[in-house]
Every structure is written in structure tokens, then in C-alpha cells.
Structure 1
């Protein structure tokens, strides 16, 4: 990020945060080490990182925001998927009629700003923040989901029907009618609804529900990468799987063979279809749910991130009468989307 050194020095002098001697020493070291004056002052303990970020923001004429301790609306936060937020150090924290306000470490990261603008379809208003602020804000992605589950489990602990697959009378021995009753248990319904709604909010393409020896692990696939979302008590697994089977019209009492099904929900964002697969494993049935957004907007190659030489090579390749274009990548990385664009 380019900042005017003279302006920075003037601001540091005016701020009174550091002495002129410290600034002079830092200026000399800056020329020797090719580090910025601010980095030298911060590493030397003469200036806090937050104060340095504020000085940078003032020099660039951009507002500084501190998100530490701030509760961000989940609907706004998840406009930027967690992996992008983490990799690019950018947090969506406020949406107004003027646009989407985002806190960033590098407000001149134009490719990221342009990508987010195309993704959310709104004007992006960059604000500078500190690394500590970004770190705290990133925790809210998981905090919101965790809080929802803890709230459900805490409030409904007395009525939550749980069963261990290894206990006598467990779901392995239960009739279809009993499993259906388990699937319609209100806390189980709330847990599954919460899992699905958070996956949609975070832009996940898949939900993986994997039983372990002592717990049930929930993972979301976002931009082709699996991310741990939540760890639930192991004894909630039979009820959650049964609930998903009911929604997908699968056989409740069939646990030894893989099954495939579908279901659909409609929310304020439109219709969303889900393709469900269950697979028997050593610790119980694993469930994978593919999320298919029916009202997804059309993409352009530019919107998918192809620019410059890469975009030209694709266009040149499509004009040729022989040969082929290969789209390769992990599950959920966007191969089909790219080919259909």
C-alpha cells in the first residue's frame, strides 16, 4: 500500500504518539532496511499497530474502524464468505443505502474490492482497520453458528431425544415409526434447520455431517475447501440423520446401504434445492448435502475471476476448431459453473 512518507512523518509529529527522535531514527532505518517507518516504530514498541493503522487511514483520507467488541449482523457478515474474508483480510460489517462498508488492512487491494462488488452487487466502501480487529471479526463467523446451536441445546436439553447407536434399543433396532418420531423431535428439527440456513448464508456448496467415535462433526464446503463448522454431541447423530432422511424421502430403517434423495426449501432469498447422499461408515451414517441455488444469478468469465492473459487464452481457445479446454479442480470449485458460463 503506497503512502506519502512526508505526510506520514508530519502526521506522526502532529499526533504526539512518538517523539521526533524516534521518528528520525525510524526514518534512517527505513532507508537501510526498506521497511516503512510505521513498521519500524511498531516492531520497536514505539507505536501500537492500531495507532499506525489510524495514521495510514488519515494519510489516505479513509475512515478507520475498530470492530473489536462489535456485533456484526450475520446477514451482512456472510455477504463475504469466510475463506475470502480470511485470505484477503476483509470484513463486511455494515450495509447502507450508500453501499457495503468493508473493513480492510489494504484498502488499495482493487482486485478484491472489484470481486466483492460483483459478488454482492453493491458499491463497496473501504474502511481501514487493524489486524487485531480483523482477527476478532473473523471469529464471529463461527460464533454465530455456535451460539445458535448452544442456544438450542441449552433450551431444549430436557426434551432433546438422543440415542446411541451402540445402546440396546438404539436406532439400529428402532422401527421406521420410532425413527420418524425421532426425526420430528423439535430440537432436532431446529438443529437441522440451523445447519442448512447457516450453510446458505455462508455460500457453502456442500454440507458434510460426519460421525466420529465421540462426536458429530459438521463441515461446510466453501469455494471448494472443507471448513469445520460445528462439533455436536455424538448422540444427536441418529436424530439428525433421520430428520434429513425424512426431508429427502429416504428409507429411515436402511442403514447398511448408501441412499440418495432430494428436498427443496423456499426462503426470502428464493428456492434452494438439496441433493442428499447417505453412506454407512464405522461410526454411523455419513451424510453429504449438495446445495443447489435455483435463483443463482448468471456469471461472466470476468465475474469468475478470469482477467487479462488468462481470459484472452480462454477466448482464443473457444475460437479454435480443434483441441479442447479442460476444467480441473476439487469438488465444488466451480468446474461446471465455469463450463456453463
Structure 2
């Protein structure tokens, strides 16, 4: 037992846990179920060792800490530095698969928060001098002006960890309390998943392949911000025969590099916008053009006209459902007849949180819960709900999957869109052609134990409130 070497007073005080044994490269730590995976990752980086959690009661943990409170457990300077360093922040964020880091100043302190599985959680409170030093270091490394704090700025850092590279996109905005920094983490070793792995059903995959096989036309991936549109876009690209096609992308930014296709980063300062890039690409004899997002009338108009003159165009739009895509394009000034002629398919999607397999618990659904799922009252239904443990940072959820609906614009649908009088009536008619709606996809995930009823209710209310 090497207790005395491990009983650093500040660590015990900060984390309220008890490292009690070292064995080779393993450190055994007594903790309660209330401790999070984030705590384990912090200790792993501090000790540079594997952390083995040993779950004990709160009373047992209190006794262990109390019995050794009089020992010499002073914290070394190098560990104190590690607890507050930029490197530790990035390493922990990457290990936790965080997508964003937010550094937010307030009156007398600052807060670091991480976005994990779509949700923000507190990571660390900072004193104002720590916050100022951290912001200056990040801005300097990102090539930003550390003296300019009155205007928004953007920057980039390529960060290496364990022989892997991560692209950090940095943005700053001035607030009344100081600069707020947001760091988006792009995982360079990202593996492009196939459609089944993303959550699409077998029928939906077949429908998507039929849409992709069209010689020309506009394919739109729709959904709110953070719904996985870009991931789905890359998976669709992966379904194409890259070796036989001239494919170009116009993105902001290029998130994942793919061999065999031409990827363009837009540069607003240099005048390389989506519309300017699209005009240039169309002079390069393309078979397929991928536009990161249709944001303005100019881009929409060029994309629509290109798709009806022999090109296959893929893009994304921020809308809530299929009809929202058409309305958005009409709002941009595109004629409905031209939109209908151009559209080949629409994919609408959202991301739903998956229950943690290490702690989810079963229960028998009651009458009201069966009604929410439109299932017979007599049916014996076992559902799952979140609990929370050290492996899911106490949230009860770990990872996300997509819930989707797919529309292939055949002649019948185009006829409805052209002749339809009211928007709401068209929406109702389009429901018949949806291959597994978002709500029905989510229902299947609830019944299979992949997600919770709470997640289903959240998305059911959103969708039914919109359609």
C-alpha cells in the first residue's frame, strides 16, 4: 500500500474521493456513485495512470477521508499546474468526446462548460486571473489578436494528442463581463459511418440509395442546428462511386477530408462565398456538387438551376420538417414549380440521446405510458429509464443516434406539391409518403431500450406541434 504518496490533500478536498492504493500503473480510488466519469478522467491525467473506481457508501468514504486528514498531503506544484492547464482541459474534453468547450466570464469568476451528447455540463470554475491567462493562451495559439477584446474573432488550433490530430475552431465574442470563448472540436480521425450505423432503417437505406441513383436533382438534408446533418451528408457521399465521378464540395469549414473528392473551404474575407464557389465549380464539369448549406437566395437559385440541368446537388437547410424545406426555398424567392422540378429527395432528422448501458434500469410501463406510445393497454411492456453512474457522467445517457424520415420525390408527391392549395393540407398529404417518421423511429428506440420515454415525449411534442 502506497497510501502516503497518493493522499494529496488538495485532490481529496477538490474531488471528495480517496485514492488508496497503487498497483503497477493502476491507482485504486474509493468514490461514490455520485462521482462522474469526468472526475476519473481528471485523475487519470493528473497521475498519468489508469484509475480504477471502487464504489463505496458515502459514510465509508467520509470515514476514509477523516482517518487520514492529519497526514502530510501537500500538493506538488506540477500537479497544481496540471489541474489548471490548457492541455488538461483539451485532453479531458477529447477523452469525454465533447464537441464544444465554452469559457464564460461572470462578475467575479468564470465557468468552463463542455457539450457532451448534445448537453452542456459544468467542468470547472475559474478565478478571474486564471480565466484571463487561459483566454490569452488560447487566443495566442489560435492566431488571434490577444489585445483585441472589443470585437468578435475567429481562429484555429491543430492539437495533437496520442499521435492523433484534432482541429479546434475558436471563436470569441465580447460580453459585458469579458470575452466568451467557444472551442469546437473536430475529430480528424472521424470514421464515416454507414447509414445503418447512423440509425437509418433498412427500408430508409434502400430509399436513400434510389434517391442517390437519380442522374440529377437536388437532395436536401434538413434539421435544426446540431441534428447531425453534416454527418449524414458525408455518409451519403460515401455511398457514391467516387472513382467514377467528379465530385466537389463547398464547405464552411471542411470538417473531414475524403480522398478522391475536391473539397473547398469558403473564405468570406477573400470573397469565396457559397454562391461564388458554386459558380466556379459548375465550370469544372462536375457530376456531383455538395454545398455545405443553402443560406441565401443566390446560392439557392444556382443550386436549383444546376440540379435541373443535369447535375446532382446535395446540401443542407435548417428547417424542422420536409415541408419546411420547400417553404424556406420559397422564402428565398424560388418559384414553387421550379423547386418541385428540382427536388429528388429530402432527409429530415434529429439526434436522440441513448441510455447508458451500464446503469439503465427497467420498469413496467403504466396505462398512460402505453397510450403515449399508441400501444394496447393489455400489452405487457417493459421500458428503460436513466439512472446515472460514473461511466455516463451521472446523466444516465451515453452517446446519440439519429431519428429520421425520408421522402423520395416521385411523380405523385410532385403532383401534390404543385396542385396543393394550403400548406397545412400539403403537410398532411405528405405524411402518407414518409418512410418511418421521426416520431415512429423514436418510438422503436424506446421499445428496444435504446432511449427513454422522456426523449420520445420531447420529440413527439416538437414534431406534432410543427406538422
Identify the TM-score tier after normalising by the shorter chain.
Answer: 0.3 to 0.5
Q: TM-score, normalization: structure 1? A: 0.46
Structure 1 or 2: more helix by fraction: 1
Structure 1 or 2: more strand by fraction: 2
Q: TM-score, normalization: structure 2? A: 0.34
